[in-house]
Structure formats: structure tokens, C-alpha cells
Structure 1
């Protein structure tokens, strides 16, 4: 196995070769995490059995010092530079080979959804594939209840717009309150949300207004292939106005011509997963390997 540590510039060019790459693989994202949380990032290029792969590794900071992690916030793992993906056996074999033949001690590796072609259980996200369809075709594929909720958000006067810099503090508070209500393992810091807002090349924040009040907001991050619904917060007092439906519909309309998919993320409950399915999002499995 041949292993090379790349520069940020080399890495960002090479990841464009893989249809599986996500925003979590970009140097922008990994540098932002290092700036906010501490620790270091190393972009790795490797060749095994005449196949080329990328591996994004983080070390230190809140991730600890017991070993390297690939997929600290979001996905990581082995990124094949070919379109066929990998079988579970191939993935595990590559993981073992990298661990045994290099000086990198791995403590956790989180794969990309869909990259392991025969993985059909375990951890999962929901992905809405645009498949070169126009917005009208995508809208018609939503369940009746989703279409009704979108129309209601419009009828009651919800305004969906891009957030401005002055909104970031209020939106962070709204997101943190929602995270606390659902029992999230940590509250996303203001600095990370601000960093996403400040990079219009890789992220944006959408807010839902009812009158002069922000009642919901979502943070989206993206690369050339995929938009990821990263964070969401809403005011429970106004939940019946369906502002979150309006936000997702706004982003789908915005991105369906230029991106291939919208990743709606993992779900903390069966009801949330069922809700994402009603948008036409398909389940996609991924793998998390922990321990040395």
C-alpha cells in the first residue's frame, strides 16, 4: 500500500474525481472544524491493489488523542476514485490493511452513505435524489401530506429567505434550543454556524419568517455533488404553520438543477425518518468502525 499526505490544494482537486464525495471531504470543512474545535487534519491519498482512494483524517482537539478519526462531524472513510463503490468485504479489507501497514492509528472511521454497495442495514440517512428532474416533477413525487403542508406554509404567510449576518446569533439560539429539546449529544457552537454562513461557496442559512419573527431556520452545507441538511431549529409555538416544510421546499427548488442529491441526514426517531421518506428520500446505509 502506497500512502501520500496531500496539500489542501491537491486534495480539493482530486476529490472532484469521486461521485461519492461530500462537503465533509472538502478542505474547507475540515479546516473549519480545526479552527473551531482544535486538532489537526491530514488529507491522505492511497493506492491499494491498483485502486486509488482518499482518506480524511483528524487528530486531537475534542476528538481526543487516542488515534485518528475519519468522519468527526459528518462522513469520512475511504473515498474510492472510481464509480463502482466497494463491497463490505473490500471495505473491511482496506481498513485492516491500512491499519496494519501504515503508522496511522485509527480510532474511528465513518463511511460515506452508499459507498458500500452491499450494505443494507445499520446506520442510515435519507437522501432525495434529483435525477435530473425538474422541480415540478420532484414536487409531484412528494406525498400528498407534504404537498399540503408546503401549500399551508405559503397560505398562512410564511416568508422563506436567506439569513443575513445579523440573524446568526438568534438562529444559533433557536437551533441550540431545538437540540436541547430532542436530547442532542452537544449544542452546535455559534462559531461553527458563523463559519458556515461566512463561506457562501460551501454553505448557507435559510430562515422562515412569520411577520417579523424568525420561527424556523436551517443550515445547509454543500459541494458539487450534494447538499446536506446539517442543522435545523424551530419555535415550537409556531410548529403548526409548517415553516420547516417551506424551508426544505425552497432549497429543493433552488438546488435541483445544479446538484444531484439532497441528504436529509440521520433521524433520531422513527417518526422523523418516516417524515423524510414522505419527501421521496431513500434510505442509504453507512458504516462506523470504532476501536483499534
Structure 2
């Protein structure tokens, strides 16, 4: 009874007024404005490329460049791209895929081996080797194109597949990322447990190290794949035969033919450039979740 009376006589709390959202700070609008400008800066060329692939060669130089023309010429442009010059463009795509996939795969394996060794084995000069790798990361790759040409020329590797594949099999950034990730994600206790069970170092690396390092290795593969796919200077110096060239060198050759005899129309060059970007987009989207986790390697231990 006393409980009921106390419940009846208990004062009711006044309703709390709804909180109004805080007004946006001026710095927030400034940040959004800068991000919007940057987005337009990066996306405008992509939009222009997509729109240009649907135009004929004459429509490219008339009307609004950022909007479609009356005639939809995408299918005819694609047909001309894959049949032009004896259907050389599919050969360029296959060459580029060979260089990118083969070079990236071997580079990823080499980076995994080197990074794992630098992270898990104590030997004299380990820090010196790692510092050399860091210094190699800072060297721009185009600076090495001419020295590589001078090295490969006496051994007759110029104008061969190996002239592009061999330099693509080494990635200092991949070694650096693999070393950081191996140190953060491969516990020493697992390695010691494998040794106690009688497993060799190669088996421990293959069964434990590679599996735990897989996010970083996918990131290394993706970065190397994109770098090789978009590389121009090294293949341009090494390859004189157009049947060995990748897409980048071939497209520049088509562009250089403008105004000379049976020149390749500009619409075909643009469409070929757009098609060459599709494998990069597919690769990035399929490996995006591994790429994100690999980039954050070592940030949280």
C-alpha cells in the first residue's frame, strides 16, 4: 500500500525538449567545397572519355565535348579498334596481360620471400639491407629505363618479352610492405610451434607465412599489376617490334600516325584507350577489400 501511494505521489519529470542539430561549421562547408572541386577535377576527364567513345571522328570536334552527339557510334568504334591494322589491338592486350600478370605474380612472390626473411630472421646486415630497400622505393622507375636498356642490349634481351618481364619482377615497395606486414601479422610463436613439430623453414613459410600475409600480398600484386599495365617508357625503349608491344606503346604509335597516310582516326584511339582501362577497373574492384586491409598493415598491432 505504501508503495502504491509513493508511486502516485511521485512528481513527473518535465519532458526534455528536442535538441536542435548544431549548425554546420564554416570549415565543414569549405571542406565539402574543396572535395567537390577535386572530384570534378578527377572525374571530368573520365566522363569526357566515356562520352567520346560514343562519337564518330567528326562529332568529336563539333558540339559539346562533355555530352553525347546525335549518332551513337560506340559499337562501330569498338569494331574498328579490334580490326584495325590486322587486328593488332587484341595482340597488344594479350602482351600487356602477359607482362602485368606474369611480372606482378613473380614480383609478389619475391616480395613475400624477402619481406618475410627481413622480418623473421635475425642476421648481420639486416637493417642495412632494409635501408637499401627503402632507398630503392624513393628512386623513380623511369630513371632506370635507360640503364636497363644498356644492360640488356649486350645479352640480346632487347626486343624480347624478357626485356620487359625481368625488370617487372622486382618491386622495392612490395618488399617494404611485405616486411612491415610480416612483422605485424605473423606471430613468432606460430613459427616456433612449427619448428617444434618438425616443419622446415620452407614449409612454415608456405603454410603459415603466406596465408597470414595474403592481404598484403594481394595489395602488392595489385600495385605491381597497375604499374606494369600503365608503364610506357621501359617497353618503348625495349621493344621495337609492334607485335611485342603493350597497349600503352601501341596507342602512342597510333596517335603519332595522325596526318600521315592512312592515319588512325582519333575516335578509335580514344575508344582503344577506354577499353584498356577496363581490366584495371575489374582488377581493382575484385581486390578492393584486400587492398584496403593491406594498406593499413602495421597501423594497428
TM-score by length of 1: 0.27
Q: Point out which structure has higher relative CO (alpha carbons under 8 A, 6+ apart).
A: 2
Give the structure with the higher percent helix: 2
Task: Report the structure, 1 or 2, having the larger strand content.
Answer: 1
- TM-score, normalised to structure 2, is 0.26
Q: Which has the larger radius of gyration?
A: 2
